[in-house]
Amino acid sequence: MKDQIDLLLKDLTKLPQMSNVVVNVLKLVQDPGVSINDLALEISKDPSITASIIKLSNSAYYRASKPIRTVQESLMTLGIQTVKEIVLLSASKTVLNKDLKGYQLESEEMWMHSLIVAELSGKIAIMKKLPIAKDLAFTSGLLHDIGKVILTQFFPMKLFEIREELKNVNTTFTEIERKHFGYDHQEIGSKVLKIWNFPEELTEVVSYHHNPEKSEKYPVLVSIVHIANTIAIVSGIGIDIGGINQELSPFAMEQTGMTDKDLEVIFTHLPEIQKSLNELQTG
């Protein structure tokens, strides 16, 4: 099984494609002196991303002060970081919004889970005044379960077996994944992000979101996403066969300074947060 996965990861044509434009935009925005014109030029190379930027920029979620007709206008009105967030959002949607039957989740639910973890990650970063940019937290949350998409897409039958096994044994989902596949969805996901040349922060989040204490370089960011993911699972947003044994890591609480009271505040606001995301889900 592990060999099959290694082969799959070598054959890049079989993997879901991530637009080059996304990788280039991520590189460009790392330069603080990047110009709006250069960014707009790069984005315009991908018509579907361009279209969804204009659509999402005009959505109630981003609340632009005036109608936006071009990528330039979007960059000028919403700012470079927000547009970067939208670029990743629209590119990830194509990749993430797949039917995930193997995980007992309809694709819509998986997408909602990714969106809510993204939104909560951004909120935690701001709420606790952490030294992590909101858009980085958002993007990390959005992509954390990318490995699940790959596994279910290629091995749906194997996942059926795993599901049966989980009913009878008391172990964590990632352990069973490792037993059957040789890898868990965190390892697969981080391998894929490396192939796509995504920044190191994002691969580390994908690698350790179930075990934040293993994070070496970016423990705060990984902890943020771990907490956001746990909140989503406990609330039944994208509850899957791996959800039942998810525990909240004390390490993550300590890294982020989150308290029980903070968690309560988030739980109270969850219905309205979910409502505000409905528009992004269909957008």
Give the C-alpha separation, 57 to 43, whole Å.
14
Looking at beta carbons only, is 8 or 120 nearer to Fe ion? Answer: 120
Using CB under 5 A as the criterion, what x/- string covers residues 178-217 for binding Fe ion?
----------------------------------------
Tell me how far, at minimum, the Cβ of 26 lies from Fe ion, in Å. Answer: 22
Looking at beta carbons only, is 42 or 204 nearer to Fe ion? Answer: 204
Tell me how far, at minimum, the Cβ of 145 lies from Fe ion, in Å. Answer: 4
Beta-bridge partner residues of 100 = 105
Using CB under 5 A as the criterion, what x/- string covers residues 24-43 for binding Fe ion?
--------------------
Cβ–Cβ under 8 Å, residues 41 and 25: no
Give just the sign of the alpha carbon dihedral 114, 115, 117, 122. positive
Looking at beta carbons only, is 229 or 256 nearer to Fe ion? Answer: 229
Tell me how far, at minimum, the Cβ of 210 lies from Fe ion, in Å. Answer: 6
Q: Does 229 bind Fe ion (CB under 5 A)?
A: yes
Using CB under 5 A as the criterion, what x/- string covers residues 236-275 for binding Fe ion?
----------------------------------------
Tell me how far, at minimum, the Cβ of 105 lies from Fe ion, in Å. Answer: 10
Judged by CB under 5 A, the stretch of 80-88, 90-98, 133-141, 226-234 that binds Fe ion is: 226-234
Cβ–Cβ under 8 Å, residues 136 and 239: no
Tell me how far, at minimum, the Cβ of 121 lies from Fe ion, in Å. Answer: 11
Residues that contact Fe ion, how many (by CB under 5 A): 2
Tell me how far, at minimum, the Cβ of 183 lies from Fe ion, in Å. Answer: 13
Looking at beta carbons only, is 145 or 204 nearer to Fe ion? Answer: 145
111, 39, 74: which is closest to 283 by C-alpha? 111
Looking at beta carbons only, is 57 or 229 nearer to Fe ion? Answer: 229
187: left (phi over 0), alpha (psi -120 to 50) or beta: alpha
Residues 105-164 that bind Fe ion (CB under 5 A): 145
Tell me how far, at minimum, the Cβ of 128 lies from Fe ion, in Å. Answer: 20
Give the C-alpha separation, 147 to 184, whole Å.
8
Chain residues binding Fe ion by CB under 5 A are: 145, 229
